Amino acid sequence: MKRAAKVLGVGLVVLVLLAVATGFWLDSPRPTGRPGPEADALARRMTAAVDADAWARTQAVRFVFAGRNHHIWDRARGYASVAWDDVQVVFDTATRRGFAWRGGARLADAGDLIDDAHAAWVNDTFWLNPVVKSFDPGVERALVDEDALLVSFGSGGRTPGDAYLWTVGADGRPTAWRMWVSILPIGGLKVSWAGWTRLSTGAWVATEHALGPIDLRLTQVEGAASLAALLGDQPDPFAPLEQASP
């Protein structure tokens, strides 16, 4: 399996193939839907329900994805820290300039691990709060049913072209989505969106995702207006990046 697939943590590709073997899901075609004002209105209802304005004020986040990848994300400076097993990587999310440690020892050649960490960061932070990306450049919205919104990503991330069909609850927050994504061989797999948690900033994020018997849970989720507020007395994990800045 490719290195990036391994870093995506929960091994989505392998798990889905196992699920297919047990007969839980069947492939389904991607719907088209109706773009226009009604689709945009439902998207705005969703972004309001998760408090997108509060998310914009959430400048630092930490969480654990699927029990494996430990993240600290300094959104203000565009820095990320990803740790798994005995590896820790810190990097600039825009330039991918960074450093890696294995077993506490800093590595001279960290290129592959930085790429792994970046892939994990792209994947895992997307699961943290994709609703707020509904109006990003290149994103298309289409109404499929009265309470279902197809969001298609024409650009961005590592797999542009992916699409997600949101089912929206009475409170405006999603209850599930179906996925048509390039890394999965089957289209329309349904994943629940539950365990909605309000961060200290006021933003809402979902922490529980069930793909049949597979649990894609986010744990230890915290958010704050700044990295200092998030970490308290803990040292800045991104000091090496700051010290190496030109």
Q: Dump pLDDT digits (tens) for 151-199.
A: 998 755 445 688 999 999 999 999 999 988 887 778 888 999 999 999 9
Instruction: Annotate 119-169 with DSSP letters as a single string.
Output: HHHHHHHHHH--GGGTTSTTEEEEEEETTEEEEEESSSSSSTT-EEEEEE-
Cβ neighbours around 246 below 10 Å, total = 3
Which of 34, 32, 12, 2 is closest to 186 using CA atoms? 12
Mean per-residue pLDDT, 18-31: 60
Q: Pseudo-torsion of CA 178, 83, 197, 202, nearest 10°? A: -110
Amino acid making up residue 134: S
Which pLDDT score is estimated for 133? 92
Q: Which residues pair with 70 in a beta bridge?
A: 64, 83
Per-residue pLDDT tens for 134-151? Answer: 999 999 999 998 889 999
Confidence label for 9 from pLDDT (cuts 50, 70 and 90): very low
Q: Phi/psi at 221 (nearest 5 deg)?
A: -80, 125
Domain spans in the chain, listed from the N-terminal domain onward: 3-243
Confidence label for 29 from pLDDT (cuts 50, 70 and 90): confident
